């Protein structure tokens, strides 16, 4: 498995590189955003490790430009920050996972292997369910001709539901994908945000796009409700 690590802390990058090599990974390391973007655009990698705070071009911008260019290599973001909006921004811009420094090397390896197993299916630029549309690039949502304003968390939740439209997704799956793998709060927060979404994308239009599947989770109707 070939990994690109974009990390400006040289000592940390070298420590992680050595550990990953011992685990059987082939690892390239660069130390700034522009070099990371160029490497990811010109080489084939199974997964990218991308620090957020980088010189030249931050990790958010590197990830966004890769996705805009149609490069869907799985991205694991690294950062010293731990605010929830940092995580939401990373996911909204196309990251696949998120790890806060300091981190366990064993956890890093497990996350990387999981991302590689998942692969990188191409994600369409525009997601739609009937007349409900979501554009990940512009972070815009519309119901027919009506623009709908969502908070970052609401957008992340709708994005996840629309990527899995027609499928039943559980609360734990939603929490892992929209919140954080390490989230240990009340899972009823999912129900709360489902309610927020319904009041914005369904109720004003007399629709029922988001369905509750008792005992299993939620499903966004492929028809848009």
Return the pLDDT at 180.
Answer: 55
Q: What is the CATH number of domain 2-118?
A: 3.40.50.2300
Considering the chain, tell me which residue range(s) the CATH 1.10.10.10 domain(s) occupy.
127-220
Ranges under pLDDT 70 in the chain: 81-93, 120-125, 137, 180-184
Q: What is the structure's pLDDT at 87?
A: 55
For the segment 75-87, what is each residue's pLDDT rounded down to a tens digit?
998 877 554 445 5
Answer CATH for 127-220 from 1.10.3720.10, 1.10.287.1080, 1.10.10.10, 3.40.50.1100: 1.10.10.10
Q: Report CA 6 to chain centroid distance, whole Å.
A: 18
Domain boundaries for CATH 3.40.50.2300 within the chain: 2-118
The model scores a pTM over 0.85 = no
Question: For position 69, what pLDDT does the model report?
Answer: 74
Predicted pLDDT at 20: 93
């Amino acid at each position: 498995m070939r990994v690109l690590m974009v990390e400006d802390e040289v000592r940390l990058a070298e420590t992680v590189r050595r550990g990953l090599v011992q685990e059987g990974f082939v690892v390239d390391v660069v130390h700034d955003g522009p070099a990371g973007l160029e490497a990811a655009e010109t080489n084939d990698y199974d997964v990218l490790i991308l620090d957020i705070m980088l010189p030249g071009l931050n990790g958010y911008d590197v990830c966004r430009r890769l996705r805009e260019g149609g490069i869907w290599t799985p991205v694991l973001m690294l950062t010293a920050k731990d605010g929830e909006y940092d995580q939401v921004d990373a996911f909204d811009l196309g990251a696949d996972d998120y790890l806060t420094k300091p981190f366990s090397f064993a956890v890093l390896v497990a996350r990387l292997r999981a991302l590689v197993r998942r692969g990188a299916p191409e994600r369409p630029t525009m997601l739609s369910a009937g007349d409900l549309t979501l554009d990940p690039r512009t972070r815009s949502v519309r119901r027919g001709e009506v623009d709908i304003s969502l908070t970052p968390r609401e957008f992340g939740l709708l994005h996840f539901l629309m990527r899995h439209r027609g499928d039943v997704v559980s609360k734990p799956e939603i929490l892992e994908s929209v919140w954080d793998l390490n989230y240990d709060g009340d899972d009823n927060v999912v129900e709360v945000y489902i309610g927020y979404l319904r009041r914005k994308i369904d109720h004003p239009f007399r629709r029922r796009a988001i369905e509750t599947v008792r005992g299993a989770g939620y499903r966004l109707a492929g028809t848009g409700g």
